[in-house]
Structure 1
Amino acid sequence: MFRQALAGLACATALTAPAIAQTFETETGSVTLVPVVEGLQSPWGMVFLPDESMLVTERPGNLRHVSADGSISDPIAGIPEVVFEGQGGLLDVALDPEFETNRYVYLSYAEPGDEAGTNSTAVARGVLSDDMTQLTDVEVIFSQQPKLPSALHFGSRLTFDNEGYLFITTGERSDAEFRVQAQDLDSHLGKVIRILPDGSVPEDNPFVDTEGALPEIWSYGHRNMQGAAFHPDTGELWVAEHGPRGGDELNRIVEGGNFGWPLLTEGTEYSGDPINPPQELPDDLVEAERTWVPSPAPSGLAFYTGDLFPDWQGDAFMGALAGTDLIRIDLEGEEVLGDEFLFGDDFPHRIRDVTQGPDDALYLITDADPGQILRLSPAQ
């Protein structure tokens, strides 16, 4: 149904202009990119529902239902208060693994603090009504501590593993005064978080028995992870992580691992000044699977498992903001063989998120106001 519906979206009333297809030549053949939804306000995250429609977040604080024909709903009621400032706002969205029976939807967002001007990443869950118009029984299940006066580096990707644990990526809030807390286990800044769907802490988290450590922490030493996905064969979490000026990373997450920020990076300060490592580094730092200099500014991340692009099975796809592109990461199992920037230097759109659709096409969110959802498929 979804494939047939989207094939006719050039005439859908949700579109502000006729959908214009673009064709690109890739290392494995020609592909077609076509807008299937237009008119979104700074969209950030998306997830497909069982009926092949979508939920899409907009940073100003709106959650939208997008039907399979591309129609955009009014804002869904019941969304928590968000701080829409800088990089903050309503960010990612995920479905509970048991969504078809419990209808739980999870949202990450910039949550205001009690002290004026402070905020942090938070995650709330609520029950989506059958008519897709409201969330009820909304509760906050994670609130990053400490809350700080910053409008940057919220992280915020949400993803469930096959055992039903929820993983949350957080940022270290950017400022040199704050970012050192990425190395501190008594702070949620710059961490991968692992919790149960109700917000409780699994007993086997790596720092549960570490004195002074926050038990939700799964890994640390991160800067700003805006892409997260589980490898389809190994079940391991991979993240796309913003470095400073240069030094963006693709990381395979190790339980309890220290990924080095801000002790060590291939990038520099935005001023161009070096980020000098301390004389003594921890001997257990986890190396990145891939780094990029200069920075493409990575965002959403997805592994491809479908049949529509047989040559891409097992590869990862990463959005690029500064690089305005979609990056294919060529994988042989867990080994990174190389990468391909699919659309080239003249592509105008910042890609905020990427996911595989039920029709095995790839769907991309453009980071703009108005923003689009684009469908990538083999050229006919």
Structure 2
Amino acid sequence: MAIKILAAGDIHLGLKVTGLSAGAGEFSARDIWKRMVDRAVLSNVDIVALSGDIVDRDNRFFEAVGPLQAGFRRLGEHNIRVFIVSGNHDFDVLPQIIKAGSHDNVKLLGEGGKWEFEKFVKGNEAVQFAGWSFPVQHVRDSPLKRFDTVNIDPAIPGVGILHADFGAGDSPYNPVSLADFAITGMDTWILGHIHKPQELNISDPYIFYPGSPLALSSKETGAQGPVLITINNNKVGRAERAFLSPVRFENISIDISGCESEEALRDTLVSGLLDRSLSFGDELQVVSCISYGLMLTGTHSNPALVESWSSGMKDDFSHETGGGTMILVHGTDYNIQPEVSNIRELARQNSPAGILARTIVAIEDGEETEFLKNLLAEWNENHREMNRKEIYLHLQKMRLPDDDTDEKGKQFILTESKRLLGNLLQQKSE
């Protein structure tokens, strides 16, 4: 008889979704917690596992205590256990709320910063949980270094629950590394702290961030929701997303080349947003609104006019899909290059416009000019100088060597040359 687990972290009870345009309505963390409880009951799960920052802050106690206790009570009525750890946001308030409710089905693992272990048995299947909770707001030394494998039964699947900052060695929020997990002997680790869902290691052990079940801001793009994990035949399965967030944020780029009228631009933008939204299919079944960060790209004879025509998209635009999801735009940006039809003719001129045109033609044809070589050398030097600055040094450990610096430099020069040439020609025509 399989064991089913519904897992999530970073609910942040007390918060509301930010970044939506006016008129979108309010969406709060308490709404997604209720949806999670409903899904747990509907799916007949055995366990709800929560990986910290369930409550936003201590000053959110009165906003969180009612919804959280109500959810615990309903889960208990359906014999669903809750295994939970506290994070850096709720290290003090979560234990208070749990103790105030006295729910027998709820277990706070690792209170006070000490590892704690619990076994759950259902028929011929069993799972052992390990959990550790933040004792204070800032933790700089990984508690995994103090994980005692003597408590682990190698014959039973093991699931760890931990709020941690994976791969960030100098983080004040429990920095952990892959090597730290390898020594624990656990099969799976459910992490909290990062709101974007991520699979960090596929096996031995399987490590993932379920992410926040609710998209709390426009920085949190993509599908959000808790995950379902099944333990069957003594093995822990991969996490499967349950799409529950009523809000979804996405970024989109739309090419407006050829839109020489305001009507044509409007048609292109609306159809682009609608087509992208419909491409998500069943993922939008529970989504009330999907909000886009819109980037307009391409070429146009008058980029400034395009910006004027589309200025009302942000905040004012709304369009409903056939399935009832409202499409919104929370931000607009532009990367539109001025359209230059006679660029090779301009390249023969001995003028500022001619120099820019020759640079564009040289890059696009894979050739070099003395002017381009000098620009590229200056760009490379500025790039190296920026990377030497102290504020960026910690990033060097986290990225691969830059083997295509010249190509990046050429793309930057090409974009700027087109922009400058377009502005220059626009000024001459006025």
TM-score by length of 1: 0.26
TM-score by length of 2: 0.24
Higher helix share: 2
Name which one, 1 or 2, has greater alpha-carbon Rg: 2
Higher strand share: 1
Q: Which has the higher contact order (CA 8 A, sep 6+)?
A: 1
